[in-house]
Amino acid sequence: MTQVLIVGAGPAGMRAAETLATAGITPVVVDEGARAGGQIYRRPPRGFLRRPEALYGSEASKAIALHQCFDALVTQNRVEYRAQTSVLGLRDGTAHLSGPAGYEQIAFDRLILATGAMDRVVPIAGWQTGGVYPLGAMQIALKAQGVALGQQIVLLGTGPLLTLLAVQLVQSGADVRAVLDTSDLRGQVRGGVAMAAARPWVTLRGLGMRRQLGRRYHAGITPLRIETDEHGPTAVR
């Protein structure tokens, strides 16, 4: 039988596994996570108590459906799931893996890479200081660990995820000192009209979130540098 290897157990890898299982093929899914889910639909460790609605917001029902579907396939032995396992190399139909049992090899003849994405950060002076994090890291920390990365936090960037993360942090009780948006309000209104026509509910929800940020939110910011001391960032100019 065809041996399919899927790398990554986020939404794409999990749905690929489901499609193959439905066709009667039993794929092997190799995943660095401790539990299938990936990052957007990442699951906290066992023993954490917040409900899916608190973790995934309006995406909760999709996240639950995805997790349940994949868990059922694994329980039924229709998908072989290898957690906490990294792919070190792929060559001539052999995958070289490092996992809880150490090094091992598995053979495959078809490969699906569902390895996801990582944040890219615009490099302003000071961005490389320990204690400066990309947006995705802040969301992972909040969702999977129940922590805010910082006792006092300044968020700097643009786009709808900036507002979403800011609201998630404020609602959780984190100390968000400022939300600095590099787009000016005029540009946001221009884009917002087209956005409101295409997706009115998403636009309305965004405006409601923005209102919750109140005076913390500043538009049209041009960041010059992140100031730091030996423990990390101290100010943004």
Count, residues near another protein per rule CB under 8 A = 41
* 29 binds another protein per the rule CB under 8 A: no
We find the least distance from the C-beta atom of residue 64 to another protein, in angstroms, to be 19
Neighbours of 104 (CB within 10 A): 12
Neighbours of 34 (CB within 10 A): 15
Residues 177 and 78: their CA atoms lie apart, in Å, by 49
Of the ranges 22-30, 41-49, 59-67, 87-95, which one interacts with another protein (CB under 8 A)?
Answer: 41-49
* 98 binds another protein per the rule CB under 8 A: no
Neighbours of 231 (CB within 10 A): 9
* 147 binds another protein per the rule CB under 8 A: yes
One of 3, 26, 44, 96 touching another protein (CB under 8 A): 44
* 137 binds another protein per the rule CB under 8 A: yes
Among 100, 78, 109, residue whose Cα is nearest residue 5: 109
* 47 binds another protein per the rule CB under 8 A: yes
CA angle 143, 145, 147 (to 5 degrees): 90
Residues 226 and 234: their CA atoms lie apart, in Å, by 8
We find the least distance from the C-beta atom of residue 148 to another protein, in angstroms, to be 4
* 136 binds another protein per the rule CB under 8 A: yes
Of the ranges 43-51, 70-78, 181-189, 200-208, which one interacts with another protein (CB under 8 A)?
Answer: 43-51
One of 173, 201, 215, 222 touching another protein (CB under 8 A): 173
- 196: its two tokens: 């409101």
Q: CA torsion, points 191, 192, 198, 200, in degrees to nearest 10?
A: 170
Per the CB < 8 A criterion, the answer to whether 126 and 153 are in contact is no
The site for another protein (CB under 8 A) is made up of 32-34, 39, 44-50, 54, 84, 86, 116, 118-119, 129-131, 133-134, 136-137, 140-142, 145-151, 172-175, 230-232
